[in-house]
Chain A
Amino acid sequence: MLENQMQKTSALITTMVFIRRSVLHSLRNVDALIMAIALPIMLMLLFTYVFGGAIDSSGHYVNYVVPGIILLCAGFGSSSTAVDVATDMMNGIIDRFRTMPIQSINVITGHVVASLARNLLATGVVIIIGLLVGFHPNASILSWCAAVGMIGLFILAFTWLFAAIGLVAGNPAAASSYGFVLLFLPYLSSAFVPINTMPKWLQGIAENQPITPVIETIRALLMGGEVTNHIGLAVGWCLLILVVSIYWSTLTFKRKAGRR
């Protein structure tokens, strides 16, 4: 009973210590931090002022594209988790964590939570820049909360996926290039252009991949559209990715003990 209690406290403290570690890493990796904040600004301006006019000449493209930019940035932001995790796995420190009487997998949890914080910050930047360049959302407080929840769940799911990729990759360079492939998903969705403008064969892909329902859910929540069409699929996709990625990460983490 008492032992159980101690175990629990220790797992909580372990997680907190690892979160603190990863957040400090994030804050001190100045290049990456600047990138995490500059990227949303640049993408927002690029899509609004450069591509926007050609895609939708009415000038309201910004209202269409904000959810897409949010997910694009969140994707970029969480992909660095693959590199962070792969770097840790190469370093001797992981062996030290593994040989301590703690749940060492929480070192990954630390990276995931830091990524969540980083990317929610980036999401905030996207929204603020969006508002500055003419984004006119039409949402209640409740819808805003739901939208942030949806974005958070998306970041969480993809960060765990990138963590699993980082664990499998074996070195930071490989982790970075495997992760890169995933970053194309938002382009093949309804993030930037409506799906019915795509060739037929591409529509099949775009309609049946996770980004599209997530985008449509966020768009509906922020712009006052019908949410029920997509939210089930969006949450389902994210939960599926989350569960599979956590399972995959845990398995790989155990399998790689003693091998660097």
Chain B
Amino acid sequence: MNELAIQVNGLQKKFGNQMVLEGINFTVQKGEIFALLGPNGAGKTTLINILSTLAEPDAGDALINGLDIKSNKEKVKSSISLTGQFAAVDEMLTGTENLQMMGRLSGLSALEARSRGKKLLQQFDLTAVAQKRVKTYSGGMRRRLDLAVSLVVPRPIIFLDEPTTGLDSRSRRELWDIILQLAREGVTIFLTTQYLEEADQLADTIAVISKGRIVATGTPEEMKSRIGKEMVELRNDKDEIIHEIPTSGRIEDIRQIIEDIASGVPEGTRMSIRRPSLDDVFLSLTSEKEGS
């Protein structure tokens, strides 16, 4: 019981007539990285807003660190930190000023806030731009500051709403390293993403959300094993996929496939074998859902 960071029970939210969350259930273990994976409009931000006390659910309840989000709002706020979808930093202030402001607001003394800010700027490789206004920062720098700001006072649970959306791949990797490092320090991380690769790289547990419902939950490996098999991929001479065939990966099977298709494919077709990606899982899950 005590090992749960987040418990969500039958959470519902409606905007007007539209059901945005249709009864969400899941649990997050302490110290894990939990990724909520889904396309735009699936309800990810609404869910994160409810869990971080910004919005109230219409039905159902949720416990953060064992505290009810409705009846214990203020205490919940002391257990969490939220980094929203768009960098939540003050553009008119410098990096240093942003960190000191948040430090003071979190109850640090002026002196503590200053030294904590300095440390975080170092840790997040922002010392060189510390005295520059955030307005002049690149997207990656802004995101790093954003994350640094949310760590001014260590909180046991951190919410990250699409932390790498809009970043180039290098900045994305840097941010991943930071998130993994945090998790190693024992922080529980709840993040949303629309990138399957991101969930695969970071998460201990993935929940796939589609149209306001959790359609699957499990480790990345479990997710992949839902499709189970390796895929034989056939590409034409323009490198477009023309056919995908699930296989066990055993020589006999592959020989059989080649025999089956060899005569029917156009000249220049190439064949490769790959492990199923989360894309396959995702597509199969969401299309199952739509089909039913």
A residues apposed to B, CB below 8 Å: 10, 13-14, 17, 20-21, 24-25, 28-29, 91-93, 95-102, 257-259
Contacts and interface: CB of A to CB of B under 8 A. Distances in A.
B97 interface: yes
Contact of A257 (B55, B86, B106, B149): B55
A21 B90 contact: yes
Contacts, number: 66
Interface in B73-96: 74, 77-78, 80-90, 92-93
A163 B177 CA distance: 41
A258 B86 CA distance: 13
Given A91-B88, A92-B84, A95-B84, A100 B105 contact: yes
A85 B87 CA distance: 18
18 contacts: A10-B107, A13-B107, A14-B105, A17-B101, A24-B93, A24-B97, A28-B133, A91-B86, A91-B88, A93-B89, A93-B90, A95-B84, A95-B88, A98-B54, A100-B106, A101-B74, A101-B78, A258-B54
A100 B90 contact: no
B92 A29 contact: yes
Given A21-B93, A24-B97, A91-B88, A99 B52 contact: yes
A197 B136 CA distance: 54
A29 B54 CA distance: 30
Q: Nearest 7 pairs between A and B by C-beta?
A: A258-B54, A92-B88, A258-B55, A92-B84, A101-B77, A96-B88, A92-B86
Given A17-B101, A17-B104, A257-B54, A93 B88 contact: yes
Contacts of A100: 77, 81, 105-106
Nearest to B85: A92
B49 interface: yes
A98 B77 CA distance: 9
B83 to A, nearest CB: 8
Contacts of A102: 105
Contacts of B82: 95-96, 99
Interface of B: 49, 52-55, 74, 77-78, 80-90, 92-93, 97, 101-102, 104-107, 133, 149-150
Nearest to A92: B88
Given A96-B149, A99-B52, 20 more contacts: A13-B104, A17-B104, A20-B101, A21-B90, A24-B92, A24-B93, A28-B92, A28-B133, A91-B86, A93-B88, A93-B90, A95-B52, A95-B84, A98-B53, A99-B53, A99-B80, A100-B106, A101-B78, A258-B49, A258-B55
A14 B107 CA distance: 9
Contacts of B77: 99-101
A258 B46 CA distance: 8
Contacts of B101: 17, 20-21
Nearest to B94: A24
Contacts of B74: 101
Contacts of B84: 92, 95-96
Q: Specify which of A29, A98, A101 lies most central, judged by the most chain B CB atoms within 10 Å of its CB.
A: A101
A93 B150 CA distance: 11
Nearest to B107: A10
Contacts of A13: 104-105, 107
A23 to B, nearest CB: 11
A101 B76 CA distance: 8
Contacts of B105: 13-14, 17, 97, 100, 102
A102 B108 CA distance: 13
Contacts of B85: 92
A95 B54 CA distance: 7
Nearest to A95: B84
A21 B105 CA distance: 12
A10 B187 CA distance: 26
A201 to B, nearest CB: 44
A212 to B, nearest CB: 37
Contacts of B80: 99
B74 to A, nearest CB: 6
A215 B71 CA distance: 49
A17 B105 CA distance: 7
A98 B93 CA distance: 19
Nearest to A259: B55
A2 to B, nearest CB: 14
Contacts of A24: 92-93, 97
Contacts of B90: 21, 93
Contacts of A17: 101, 104-105
A257 B89 CA distance: 18
B217 to A, nearest CB: 25
Contact of B54 (A25, A99, A101): A99
Contacts of B87: 92
B86 to A, nearest CB: 4
